[in-house]
Chain A
Amino acid sequence: MATALQGLRLTARTCCCTQSSQKHVVRTIGRQRVFSTTPIPWVSKEERQKRHEERLSRASKITGLDVRAMDRENEDMKRELQQLLDDEIDIGPSMPIPDLPVSRKKLKETFLNLGEQEAFEDGGFMEDEEDDISTLAHGELEQHREWRHYARLEAWEMPLLSKLAKPFELPTKRMPLRFRYTTYMGEQHPAEKKVVLEFSPADMPDLTPVQTDKLRKLLGPRYNPEKDTVRMSCEMYETQAQNKRYLGDTVDALLAEARDPTDTFEDVPLDTRHHTFKPRLRFPKEWAMTEERRQELVAQRQAQIERDAQLQELGHLVNGEQIIQKVLASRAAMAAEEPEPVLVGGRGGRAAAKGAGGKKISVRR
């Protein structure tokens, strides 16, 4: 399975490699013109004929020759040639047929011809002259080339990057906003354009406590009351820069609103329903086992043992098992003291006696 997949991968790679150069060639449809905003003017047959006549008459006027006669001669020659060609076609296939482009069927786009410029099936592939290595081998070669490419990059270009390195500087008080960008290392990804902004309302400059509180209330569910931070993101624009701009504008708008004295929101409580406060459980200091605590526990246990021993001596220690045995023994003793009542007469009595001892008791009435 793995081998098959490897083969498929290499084949696909070869196919891609051969086509990659043509991928981005610009092709135009229709007659090529210089850049123009007007539509192409198509000319009717009669118009063309009329123009031709005009052109001929103008040429004869300028040159003084009988251009019209020459034109007619030309037309005759054309017709003759056409006749000749028609005759040749009529002769049939015994004559050598010139190499003409064959009309080819457009293929459905599949995985194998994905991204090719001309996905045609015509069977007219180049003859396999068996002077080339196989497709798989081409794939291997291509892969090797790629490896070498990256090895060269690593060896020659990467060291130069260190020249561009800048030392990290802690953000100052004037930089309260923290942006997060995402890169997928040159690959395209839909999340590439997303920008996330984090800041703390307390760090915002030139805000009174009331205004800061108003800002917190305005921030709604983006506000984390546990950490006193805000997190907001934007990915609605095409590019990272646009998204970042939008976030910056939003912060400006929020600050302007927070500074607006018309309504300070002091009567509205801060809404934290969106946030779940997680209790931080920590091992209590009092529970930590120290040498003192260990000794204390040993002393406690010793005291317990002593107390139990004391109770044992006095006979006050309660033992459930013993109590039950004692009661059962006393009940048995009581039962032994009393004579066992024997039911005499009646069916039940006789049957019971039979069952117990197997004795028959006969009673005379």
Chain B
Amino acid sequence: MATSINCWKCLARPCATSSSRISSIVSSKPFSSTSSKLVGGPKPFKKAAPAGVKQNLRIKKKGAQKTTGRPPASGERKAMRKRIVLSNTNALAVPGMQEFNKDLVADMLEGGEEKKSLVGNVVVLPGETVDALRAIDAFKPTQGWGLFNKPGLLIRQESVELTRALVSAEDEKSTLRYVIEGSKGSGKSMMLLHAQAVAVARGWVVLHFPEAQELVNAVNDYAAIPNSNPSVWMQPTYTAEWLEKIAKANPILDTIKMTQPHNLPIEIPKGTTLGRLCELGVRDSDIAFPLFQALWSELNQSGRPPILLTLDGLSYIMRDSQYRNTNNELIHSHDLALIKHFTDFLSGSQTMKNGGAVIGATSRSHHPISLSMNLAITQALEKQQESPQTERQPFEKNYDERVEASLKDVHVMKLSGTSKDEARGLMEYWAKSGVLRQTVDERSVAEKWALAGNGVLGELQRGALRMRI
């Protein structure tokens, strides 16, 4: 310690000369004719950096950490990401919740003066509905199902309206054409799920495109349908998978038998159930699309249940797809057979014989911008409110005639925040489930409601359940 300090009065660091003296003492040797190794004095200190180069105190990072253990198998991470947990045994079971069944749908529509309205209540989805909805991928991993004991659904004013429209479409055997619009987190996908739950409860056949993006982003195989002019493109693998979902979600298909002759690539005996038809399509993707067409025409025979056809992420199909035709040009989304099927019904050029509904929901997170769709929605809303119409921008080139035609005269449901009563009902459900450790009174409801941008449901959930400070 003492030797290292060369000046007692200051805290200067020991200089090089003192150390060189020590080294010379150490290196002294008996007589030798060769020069010492240290002959030219000790080597000068190595400069840390050449002049002009900035020095900093940052310690160099070590190389990338070596991963230990087994790397995730292919598809494992995606499965983890897409995993949907619909039940949490740690959450408290809420007693006295009504089940979402046919009676409840009827109650929803009555809701008269003497009877208390169901709006603002959370109802539980029964097992068969959950199975059906799970089969068609109606639940999404971001919707927070894993926080609760059983999947529940809030009844909103808009959902009552939608239910009324669906039921009247069934009664009148007409085709309901709806587009659900709204800001991010306002419950568009949940409204779709509500429609599907109503359809399942009333014994409809439910067909759902859970992610429109998957139809158009060129990840599936595709082929032109023979003898179609202009070319229409089918997606065999996607159709096969979709048929599997349809068969799984609609057990009613097993009770319906084929009655019509069809020009199919394989021989199918008369009297085969529609469920079996779907199964055949799942087995062989090459014939999946013709089988789907056969299924659809069978469903449109008289005496069959109504059909609900839904799609989530509407703006993806309202522009060119990423598939290319034989001239290496982009194929318009509406030239893809499955999307064409959807848009034919959405535009009203085809109708369902036994009644039914076609509903598209827009997506507001990471969505492509379709000018024509936005314009059509704005115009439809203005028409519903009887306010002056917005016209096309005269010098804008990116409008799409086909998109505008497909969205002509659809009914647009604009979702915004919930009312305070609805928010209160939902928060009470959360408190009863043990995820909201608060007294649910007017004050706390008003606070959360205001912070959630006047009751936007996604924000309400985020503010009350996910952000814990």
Where the two chains meet, the residues of A that have a C-beta atom closer than 8 Å to any C-beta of B are 269-271, 273, 304-305, 307-308, 311, 317-321, 323-324, 327
Contact = CB atoms under 8 A, between A and B. Distances in A.
23 contacts: A269-B395, A273-B395, A304-B446, A305-B442, A307-B442, A311-B441, A317-B439, A317-B441, A318-B431, A318-B432, A318-B440, A320-B430, A320-B432, A320-B434, A320-B435, A320-B438, A320-B439, A320-B440, A321-B439, A323-B431, A323-B434, A324-B434, A327-B434
A4 to B, nearest CB: 29
B119 interface: no
B436 interface: yes
Interface string B428-465: 10111011111111110010000000000000000000
B56 to A, nearest CB: 31
Bin chain B's interface residue count: 10 to 19
Given A304-B442, A308-B442, A319 B431 contact: yes
B30 interface: no
A34 B467 CA distance: 97
Contacts of B428: 318
Given A318-B428, A318-B431, A324 B92 contact: yes
A358 to B, nearest CB: 31
B75 interface: no
Contacts of A273: 395
Contact of B440 (A271, A304, A317): A317
A319 B441 CA distance: 9
A327 B441 CA distance: 21
Contacts of B434: 320, 323-324, 327
B439 A319 contact: yes
B394 interface: yes
A113 B172 CA distance: 100
Interface of B: 92, 394-395, 428, 430-432, 434-443, 446
A311 B431 CA distance: 15
Given A304-B442, A307-B442, A308-B441, A320 B395 contact: no
Contact of A324 (B394, B437, B440, B442): B437
Given A307-B442, A327-B92, A320 B394 contact: no
Nearest to A319: B439
A323 B438 CA distance: 10
Given A269-B394, A317-B441, 8 more contacts: A270-B394, A304-B441, A318-B431, A319-B438, A320-B430, A320-B440, A323-B431, A327-B92
B442 A323 contact: no
A271 B442 contact: no
A162 to B, nearest CB: 54
A270 B92 CA distance: 63
Nearest to A322: B439
A323 B394 CA distance: 61
